[in-house]
A and B are shown apart, each in its own frame.
Chain A
Amino acid sequence: MRELKIVAVVVAFSVLTYYLVEPYAHHEMHKQVDAQGVEIKVESHGFTYDGSDDIAEAERKGDVALAQKKKAFWAEVADISKLKGDAAVGEAGFALCLGCHTDTGTNLGGVVPPSLEHAGRIYDKNYLIALLKDPAMASNVNHKYADTLLHPMGSIASMMSDKQQIADVVAYLLEKKAGEVTPEEAYDEACMRCHALRYANITQLGKTPSFKQEKDALAHKIKVLDEQDAIKAYMGKLPPDLSMIIRARGEHFMETFIENPQSQLAGTSMPRVGLNHEGYEKVKEYLTEAGDPSKKAREDLGPWVIGFFVLFALLAFLWKKHQWRELH
């Protein structure tokens, strides 16, 4: 039928245009290529960490020595990962951590050391091992530090050099610091010390309390500004507020960026956070709550509205048939 042929032509041209300006153009725009012009596939590793990205990055830069160093580092991490850690022994080692990770919101060396309350739940085991060995290497931000010791947590190297001791501390975290975690707690521990979330009333110092007196509110604001200045001095710029990030970036970007910030933003001062799959899901849930709270309502209402118009079109079709029955 002639009319259906016209529909087919209109649909075909519309779909072609859509394909070209949306999936195809966006793929081309965000394509990363190496020095030889070969496309670099940026892929998620399911929130597990073995340093393969970091080594590949060093190799692409042509820095053979660095690549070797990273290979050796992550091989050692894999070795430690095979050791059987003793949580009871690890508790003593963990006491060292509490020297800085005080949960009091005190800035040390540029940022507030994060709470470790759910560290065993939301971070990957290999990442935790790597972090205890060399925080700059684990976070893939070694380019920021000429000497690892300059990292705010760099002193860990002199505190915990024994492989078994690292395995024990990690075993302790995985056993004792692995309780149920809420999306908000996951965000607080993994992201908040750098990233404000104003739609959830969160600054780098946590949830902003309500104040009766304006001057108390202002005093708090000054504290927040001071903290932000310290972070700015340490990171080079104030990390962005994440209120709308869930709508501003796609799923693939979020996953690969959180696994390895360097993969999407080469040279960034943001460290790898080391979230495991559960940790990422929790953080994502919280970011969705802040930036896209209508997602569920949208998905629930959609079928009803579309169903209504299917029915509407059906009835309209019958009406049209009726109106046109005597015309031909």
Chain B
Amino acid sequence: MAHFEKANSLGEWFEQRIGLSTLNRVLNTEYWIPKDINFLWAMGMLLAATFGLLVISGIFLLMYYKPDSNLAFDSVNYTIMSQVGYGWLWRHIHGVGASIIFLVIYIHMFTGIYYGSYKRGRELIWLSGMALFVAFSAEAFSGYMLPWGQMSYWAGMVITNLFSGGSLEAYGLVEWIRGDYVPGDAFLTRFFMLHVLLLPLAIIGLIVFHFGALRLPHVNNQQGAEIDFKEAAELYKAGKKKESKVIPFSPVFLSKDVFVMGVYFILFFYLVFYNFEFAMDPVNFDPADGLKTPAHIYPEWYFLWSYEILRPFGKDVGLVAFGIAQLALFFLPFIDRSPNVAPAHKRGLFVVWFWVLIIDMIVLTAMGKLPPTDPTFALIGKLAAWTFLALGPILVLITSFEKKIGKGA
């Protein structure tokens, strides 16, 4: 037992017990962030805020949602949407938040790729980030099952069918996942459990790890410059703020984050109130019906690019290509052989590779939704899928030949 004096104030009482001021110093006022950044560095904060909104709105929805295949649709569309005060608001926030969080995730990811923030000490940030992407994808998919509309049912059917492994015909595995021959009550209840318990727990754990992994290598900056954080911090603390290359997380970095967040929430709530159909597909307002296949089955927009890597090929090749696509980005820190941590526009061919990747993923996204019965769309989709698969080896090649950028460049 350590020695404790009698506390003279509540603040002091806490100070003695959990060291609030130390905590505040370590996490806020003396957590150093490079000064040379732009608004893209606020995406992490936007993600945290949006995840917070999803948790809060989710808790409210959870109070009335019924995970039962006979009751689910009406508990969402009748009880929550028309009987519960502001139930519609929570649902729209939840639906739009789930969709828009992926836009921010993609911007966050591409920012990391552009500035080379995934290598030379930052590998774990990238890997945990990718794990978060996978966890969020599973969270989004399981949540999409819950309203038990036509798209929930048929998306559940299609995605769980993937586990039959093409020619392996592992239907036993598919049934084990579904708990039934077709998506039904057992299926809905287990996805409910995943959505509200297991996956959120995993996500929260991964977020903590993601933040932790950031601590030692520090946040990257616009030039990818190496910074002596200790020295820069001393400079800042000595009042030489102009000369110092760093700023404290709170309040300086935070003030910029909060501003970006304000602008983001204007857009976010515009979507919540006036333009939500991109996130709440009208087809899903038809109740699930196993005897009526919708004319077009498509995933939400954020899965379309990988769906389009699956779709243009035969079932076995398609599955393999799909599997590669899901894992490929994980390996980025290891297939990028370049010694440089620098923004793409300073890395020669890499900048071309980067924009080809962006455009290719947008093309894949568009083709993933367009009907493949049109031969032109099918062909464009197939070419884009091949391009995506080729981009990996090409990256190894061009980064192997990349010259080291001299200091001061």
Contacts and interface: CB of A to CB of B under 8 A. Distances in A.
- Closest A-B pairs by Cβ, 4 of them: A313-B262, A302-B273, A20-B366, A294-B88
Interface stretch (A24-32, A105-113, A255-263): A24-32
B255 A310 contact: no
A248 B262 contact: no
Given A199-B78, A299-B273, A13 B358 contact: yes
Interface of A: 2-3, 6-7, 10, 13-14, 16-18, 20-22, 24-25, 28-29, 198-199, 240, 243-245, 247-250, 291-294, 297-299, 301-302, 305-306, 309-310, 312-317, 319-320, 322-324, 326-328
B78 A29 contact: no
Contacts of B374: 28
B39 A6 contact: yes
A313 B365 contact: no
Contact of B258 (A17, A18, A319, A322): A319
A327 B247 contact: yes
Given A13-B358, A313-B259, A313-B263, A327 B273 contact: no
Contacts of B29: none
A243 B287 CA distance: 10
Interface of B: 35, 38-40, 74, 77-78, 81-82, 88-89, 92, 103, 107, 241-242, 247, 251-252, 255-256, 258-259, 261-263, 265-266, 269-270, 272-274, 277-278, 282-283, 285-287, 295-296, 301, 304, 358, 362, 365-366, 369-371, 374, 377
B82 to A, nearest CB: 5
Nearest to B103: A14
A247 B366 CA distance: 24
Interface of A is mostly: helix
B262 A316 contact: yes
A13 B283 CA distance: 26
Contacts of B256: 320, 323-324
Nearest to A6: B38
Contacts of A6: 38-40
Contacts of A198: 74
A326 B255 contact: no
B273 A294 contact: no
A237 to B, nearest CB: 10
B282 to A, nearest CB: 5
Given A309-B269, A323-B251, A327-B247, A302 B274 contact: yes
A313 B233 CA distance: 29
The residue among A18, A249, A306, A328 with the most chain B CB atoms within 10 A of its own CB is: A306
A323 to B, nearest CB: 4
The residue among B262, B287, B370 with the most chain A CB atoms within 10 A of its own CB is: B262
A195 to B, nearest CB: 14
